C-alpha cells in the first residue's frame, strides 16, 4: 500500500510540474480533465502492481497530446492560408469579372484600387453597353453623348463625383448597400471614372440624366393619328419602371409632346443618319415593284418634322395584279398603299413620280417625302407586329 501511495504521489508531482512549466494550449483545460478521468479510471480498473502499467499509461497520454497538438497546428495553417481574389490567376479573375452584372462590378470596384482598375475597364463595360443599349443607340446618340460631356453645364454633373466621393456618386444609380465598402478599403478620395469612358456613359443612361435620340413606333401611346409610324424623339430611361420618357419636337405652334411609359419594343435606332426636318433623297425608286415593303417620310405641314410611315408598293389601276402580265415596274408612276386604312379613305393610297420624285402633297393631305425600301425581314416583321386590330378610317 505504501508503494502505491509513493508511486501515485510521484506521478502527480511530475504531471503538475510539466503542466506548469509551459503555457497551456487552447485545449488545456478540457485535456487536463480528460487526463484526470483516464488516470483514475485506469488506476481503479487496472492492476497498479502489474508490470509496465505506468509506462503504458504515460505513452497513451503522450500520444493523445501529440495528436491534439498536430490538429491544433493544422487548424492554424488552414486559418492563415486564406486566399485573396487578387491571388487568382489573371485569366480566372477576368472570367469572374466578365460574368458579373453592372451592380457587381460597382461593388467589386469599391474593394481596392487594383480591382477598381479592372472593374472600370472599357472591355467589360462595352459588353454591358452592347447587351442592354446596343439596339437603341445609334451614331446620333453617340454624337449627343460627346456633346453632353463637353458642355460646361453637363460636365458639372460628373464633377459631383469628385466633390462627394465615388461611393456617394454611385449611390445615385444603385442601392447604397450594393456599393458600400469598408472605410479602410474604400477609395473615397480617388477620382471617378473618366467622363468620356464607356462606364460613365452607361451610368448616365441608367440614371436617366442623359437624354439620347432614337425613334419611337406609334408615338403618343398609339394615337390613331400616328398608327404604323415612327418618329424621332429624345428619350430618358427610368430604371424603376424599365421604361422611357419620350420628348417629341414641337410641331409648328404645338408645344413639345411628352410621353411616359415607352417600352423597349417600341424603340429603334434611326435607320438613316439624317435630321427629321431634312428630305431624304431616295435611291431605290428605279427598283420598286408591286409587293415591296417601304417606309416613306410624311409630315402634316412644312413646319412639322418628318415621320416614317409603313406601306407597300401597289398596282396601277390599269393592272389586274396578275404577276405574269404586270408591267407596273416599267411605269413612271409608283402607287403606294397604306393598308391599315379602309378602302375609300384619303390616306389609303398615294402616287409618286419614279424619275423625278420630290416632296409632294398639300396642306390638306400632308406632304410625302423620301422613300426607303425595306430589305430586312426583321424590320418588316416589326411593322406587322404593330398592325392595328381594327381598320382605320
Q: Which of 266-296 are b and which e, b meaning 16 or more Cβ less than 10 Å from the residue's Cβ?
A: bbbbbeeebebeeebebeebeebebebbbbb
* C-alpha span between 142 and 40 (Å, rounded): 86
Residue 117 banded pLDDT, cuts 50, 70, 90: confident
Percent of the residues in the chain that have a pLDDT greater than 90, as a whole number = 42
Cα separations in angstroms, 162 against 165, 194, 243, 342: 6, 11, 30, 60
The dihedrals phi and psi of 4, each to the nearest 5 degrees, come to: -65, -45
Task: Give the global pTM.
Answer: 0.68
Residue 45: predicted pLDDT = 44
Question: What CA–CA distances, in Å, run from 125 to 134, 198, 209?
Answer: 12, 6, 19
pLDDT value of position 12: 53
Q: What is the C-alpha to C-alpha distance for residues 213 and 144, in angstroms, rounded to an integer?
A: 8
- Residue 143's φ and ψ, nearest 5 degrees, are -65, -40
In the chain, what are the helix, strand and coil shares in percent, each to the nearest 5? Answer: 45, 15, 40
Alpha carbon distance 231, 226 (integer Å): 9
Question: Residue 197 has what DSSP assignment?
Answer: S
> With 70 as the cut, is the pLDDT of residue 161 above it?
no
**Which pLDDT score is estimated for 341?**
94
Lowest-confidence pick of 112-116, 156-160, 251-255: 156-160
Q: What is the DSSP code (8-state) at residue 194? A: P
C-alpha to C-alpha distances, 135 to 31, 101, 130, 182, nearest whole angstrom: 70, 19, 8, 38
**pLDDT at 289 > cutoff 60:** yes
pLDDT tens-digit series, residues 176-207: 334 444 433 333 444 455 556 788 899 899 99
* Torsion 129-133-139-144 (CA) sign: negative
Res. 118 pLDDT band, cuts 50 70 90: confident
Is the confidence at residue 308, as pLDDT, over 90? yes
Q: How far is CA 343 from CA 40, 115, 337, 338, 347, in A?
A: 111, 65, 10, 10, 9
Mean pLDDT of 111-120: 80
Q: What is the DSSP letter of 187?
A: -
pLDDT surpassing 60 at residue 105: yes
Q: What is the pLDDT of residue 195?
A: 57
DSSP codes of every residue in 113-168:
HHHHHHHT-HHHHHHHHHHHHTTT--HHHHHHHHHHHHSHHHHHHHHHHHHH-HHH
Contacts made by residues 32-38, CB under 8 angstroms, sequence distance 24+: 34/64, 35/61
Amino acid at each position: 500500500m505504501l508503494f502505491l501511495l509513493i508511486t501515485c504521489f510521484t506521478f502527480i508531482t511530475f504531471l503538475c510540474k510539466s503542466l506548469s512549466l509551459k503555457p497551456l494550449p487552447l485545449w488545456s483545460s478540457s485535456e487536463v480533465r480528460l487526463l484526470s478521468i483516464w488516470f483514475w479510471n485506469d488506476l481503479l480498473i487496472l492492476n497498479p502492481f502489474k508490470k509496465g502499467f505506468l509506462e503504458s499509461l504515460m505513452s497513451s497520454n503522450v500520444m493523445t497530446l501529440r495528436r491534439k497538438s498536430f490538429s491544433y497546428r493544422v487548424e492554424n495553417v488552414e486559418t492563415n492560408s486564406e486566399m485573396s481574389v487578387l491571388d487568382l490567376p489573371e485569366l480566372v479573375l477576368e472570367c469572374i469579372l466578365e460574368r458579373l452584372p453592372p451592380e457587381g462590378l460597382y461593388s467589386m470596384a469599391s474593394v481596392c484600387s487594383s480591382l477598381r482598375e479592372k472593374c472600370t475597364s472599357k472591355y467589360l463595360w462595352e459588353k454591358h453597353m452592347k447587351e442592354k443599349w446596343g439596339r437603341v443607340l445609334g451614331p446620333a446618340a453617340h454624337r449627343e453623348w460627346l456633346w453632353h460631356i463637353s458642355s460646361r453645364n453637363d460636365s458639372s454633373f460628373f464633377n459631383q463625383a469628385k466633390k462627394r466621393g465615388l461611393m456617394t456618386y454611385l449611390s445615385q444609380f444603385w442601392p447604397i448597400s450594393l456599393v458600400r465598402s469598408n472605410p479602410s478599403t474604400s477609395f473615397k478620395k480617388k477620382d471617378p471614372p473618366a467622363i468620356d469612358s464607356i462606364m460613365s456613359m452607361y451610368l448616365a443612361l441608367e440614371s436617366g440624366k442623359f437624354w439620347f435620340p432614337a425613334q419611337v413606333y406609334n408615338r403618343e401611346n398609339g394615337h390613331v393619328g400616328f398608327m404604323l409610324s415612327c418618329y424621332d424623339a429624345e428619350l430618358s430611361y427610368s430604371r424603376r419602371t424599365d421604361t422611357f420618357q419620350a420628348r417629341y419636337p414641337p410641331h409648328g405652334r404645338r408645344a413639345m409632346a411628352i410621353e411616359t411609359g415607352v417600352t423597349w419594343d417600341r424603340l429603334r435606332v434611326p435607320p438613316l443618319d439624317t435630321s427629321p426636318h431634312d428630305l431624304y433623297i431616295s435611291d431605290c425608286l428605279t427598283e420598286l415593284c408591286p409587293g415591296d415593303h417601304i417606309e416613306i417620310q410624311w409630315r402634316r405641314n412644312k413646319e412639322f418634322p418628318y415621320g416614317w410611315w409603313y406601306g407597300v408598293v401597289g398596282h396601277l389601276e390599269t393592272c389586274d395584279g396578275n404577276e405574269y402580265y404586270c408591267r407596273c415596274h416599267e411605269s413612271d408612276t409608283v402607287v403606294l398603299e397604306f393598308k391599315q386604312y379602309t378602302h375609300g379613305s384619303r390616306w389609303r393610297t398615294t402616287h409618286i413620280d419614279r424619275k423625278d420624285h420630290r416632296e409632294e402633297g398639300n396642306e390638306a393631305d400632308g406632304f410625302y417625302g423620301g422613300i426607303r425600301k425595306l430589305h430586312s425581314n426583321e424590320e418588316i416583321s416589326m411593322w406587322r407586329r404593330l398592325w392595328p386590330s381594327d381598320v382605320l378610317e
